[in-house]
């Protein structure tokens, strides 16, 4: 679609008029459509990939970078094309985006919000990035999403599981493919009830930032609705590496389940400490003591080693899925890197393709054209079944996986088994659900 056609479709967005100090309606026309941040003027378009290359989520960041590089290769017609061939939208032809070759720059979020914002700001202002993606921390994602809204570029979130990202902190320029805490609770609770019964007492250790808070709220609400009791919730610092002092009080709490609302290196360390304290071998209230990790990945399972066996949790995607999209992505990634991709890699690869496809369908890199193309967009073939990018909050709704650590893995990559594929309908909630209340999506900002 041409830029002129945006007017024919009746696109009317709010844009800041330079020097006026007020926001007035702006209609995109052939002449005004160019007035947006970092409009590509040459033969290339630059994307910014902002990931944790250091800090507790660095493993996820490394796999994200691998997937971003692969996505760019496929967009530019290199390699085997990966999921371009399985994606239900057939706009992408391997000739870049809108005929421009895709280039990219990278930054290190350090798993710190301030560092992430500074890195994204540099990519936008110095490198001319027209889209920012990445992150493995919801605190980082929310901070960078806010920056992108202010700067007038699109933010395609990487790993971010806090309800707030598409709840109270949602932004018109931001989009999330990854699932969230509410979805984990909705998928996990019925499985936990079936496995461990309804008469359980849960003790929560929770990462002390937006993701941990909303994850804990979600899993507690979902399990309490089925009869579980939450006996305590203790917040732990994101920078913590030894959780022994937090594990010890669990022994005398009367709890018979420990819920670790931790991710990345935090989860590896807290689970290891819990096993060292003998929790997995205890019997409390006449029941076997259980440990639950609401959100985990293959990378975390590898770090936790033997300790992950039998541990139940949820994940966004897993390389063992047999749909055509998943198989195509696993083949491409494995051929290039020699091992299967993680959910982190899958998420950011999808986000890169979804952005490129939206630009192609809109016929412009203008953020407001991208927003319109993604809002309410339904697609398939990217590994999670039929998916909707909901217009009201820019959250993707798709199937969620419940997994557990394999008792007898066949390799260092074959660590998780899928217990249940929870259908999207079971994890879908209304846009005004109380856990997502506050804030407003607002209107797209095209920037310059």
Lowest mean pLDDT among 10-14, 101-105, 224-228, 257-261: 10-14
Taking all residues of the chain, what is their mean pLDDT, rounded to a whole number?
A: 91
Average pLDDT over residues 280-297: 95
pLDDT of 262 > 90? The answer is yes
Q: 448 in helix, strand or coil?
A: coil
Residue 283 burial (10 A CB sphere; 0-12, 13-18, 19+)? exposed
Strands (E), 59-190: 101-108, 131-134, 154-157, 174-176
CA proximity to 108, closest of 152, 151, 64: 64
Average pLDDT over residues 83-88: 98
**Residue-by-residue DSSP string for 175-223:** EE-S--HHHHHHHHHHHHHHHH-S--EEEEEEESSHHHHHHHHHHHHHH
Average pLDDT over residues 84-108: 97
pLDDT tens sequence across 191-225: 999 999 999 999 999 999 999 999 999 999 999 99
Specify the pairing of strand 377-379 against strand 416-422. unpaired
CA proximity to 107, closest of 117, 98, 97: 117
Q: What is the per-residue pLDDT for 419?
A: 95
CA proximity to 153, closest of 257, 310, 39, 52: 39
CA proximity to 367, closest of 267, 257, 442: 442
Q: What is the per-residue pLDDT for 34?
A: 54
Q: At a CB cut-off of 8 Å and minimum separation 6, what does 245 contact?
A: none
pLDDT of 372 > 50? The answer is yes
Kindly report the number of other CB atoms within 10 A of residue 316's CB atom.
27
Q: What is the per-residue pLDDT for 136?
A: 80
- Cβ atoms of 241 and 184 closer than 8 Å: no
Helix axes 58-75, 343-362, angle to 10 degrees: 40
pLDDT tens sequence across 4-62: 333 323 333 333 323 333 333 333 333 344 589 999 999 999 999 999 999 888 889 99
What does the DSSP 8-state code read for residue 359? Answer: H
Backbone angles phi, psi at 346, to 5 degrees: -60, -45
Q: At a CB cut-off of 8 Å and minimum separation 6, what does 192 contact?
A: 200, 223, 226, 228, 292, 312
pLDDT tens sequence across 390-430: 999 999 999 999 999 999 999 889 999 999 999 999 999 99
d(CA 209, CA 206): 9
Average pLDDT over residues 127-150: 95
Q: At a CB cut-off of 8 Å and minimum separation 6, what does 435 contact?
A: 163, 167, 181, 182, 214, 217, 218, 221, 429
CA proximity to 338, closest of 59, 66, 52: 66
d(CA 161, CA 294): 11
Total number of residues shown for the chain:
448
Q: Considering the chain, what percentage of its residues have pLDDT values greater than 90? A: 85
Question: In which band, very low, low, confident or very high, does the pLDDT at 296 lie, cut at 50, 70 and 90?
Answer: confident
């Amino acid at each position: 679609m041409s830029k002129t056609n945006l007017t024919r479709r009746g696109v009317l967005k709010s844009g800041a008029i330079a020097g006026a100090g007020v926001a007035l309606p702006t209609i995109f026309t052939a002449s005004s459509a160019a007035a947006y941040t970092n409009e590509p003027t040459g033969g290339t378009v630059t994307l910014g990939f902002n990931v944790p290359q250091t800090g507790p989520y660095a493993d996820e960041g490394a796999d994200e970078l691998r997937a971003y590089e692969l996505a760019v290769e496929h967009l530019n017609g290199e390699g085997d094309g990966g999921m371009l061939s399985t994606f239900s939208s057939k706009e992408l032809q391997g000739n870049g985006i809108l005929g421009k070759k895709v280039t990219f720059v990278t930054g290190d979020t350090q798993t710190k919000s301030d560092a992430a914002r500074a890195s994204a700001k540099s990519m936008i202002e110095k490198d001319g990035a027209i889209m920012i993606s990445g992150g493995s921390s919801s605190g980082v994602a929310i901070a960078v999403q806010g920056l992108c809204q202010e700067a007038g570029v699109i933010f395609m979130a990487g790993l971010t599981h806090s309800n707030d990202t598409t709840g109270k902190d949602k932004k018109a320029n931001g989009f999330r493919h990854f699932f969230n805490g509410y979805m984990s609770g909705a998928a996990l609770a019925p499985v936990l009830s079936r496995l461990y019964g309804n008469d359980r007492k849960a003790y929560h250790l929770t990462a002390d930032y937006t993701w941990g808070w909303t994850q804990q709220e979600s899993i507690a609400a979902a399990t309490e609705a089925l009869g579980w009791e939450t006996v305590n919730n203790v917040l732990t610092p994101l920078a913590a590496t030894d959780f022994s002092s937090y594990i010890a009080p669990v022994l005398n709490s009367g709890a018979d389940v420990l819920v670790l609302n931790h991710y990345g290196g935090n989860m590896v360390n807290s689970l290891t400490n819990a096993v060292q304290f003998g929790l997995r071998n205890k019997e409390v209230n006449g029941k076997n003591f259980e440990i639950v990790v609401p959100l985990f990945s293959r990378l975390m399972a590898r770090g936790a080693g033997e300790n992950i066996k039998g541990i139940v949790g949820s994940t966004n995607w897993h390389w063992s899925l047999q749909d055509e999209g998943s198989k195509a992505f696993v083949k491409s990634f494995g051929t290039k890197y020699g091992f299967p991709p993680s959910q982190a890699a899958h998420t950011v690869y999808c986000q890169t393709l979804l952005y490129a496809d939206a630009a192609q369908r809109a016929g412009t890199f203008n953020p407001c054209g991208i927003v319109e193309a993604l809002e309410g967009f339904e697609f398939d073939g990217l590994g999670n079944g039929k998916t909707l990018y909901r217009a009201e909050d820019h959250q993707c709704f798709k199937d969620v996986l419940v997994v557990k650590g394999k008792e007898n893995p066949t390799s260092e990559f074959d660590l998780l088994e899928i217990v249940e594929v929870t259908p999207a309908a079971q994890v879908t909630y209304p846009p005004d659900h109380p856990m997502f209340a506050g804030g407003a999506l607002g209107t797209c900002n095209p920037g310059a």
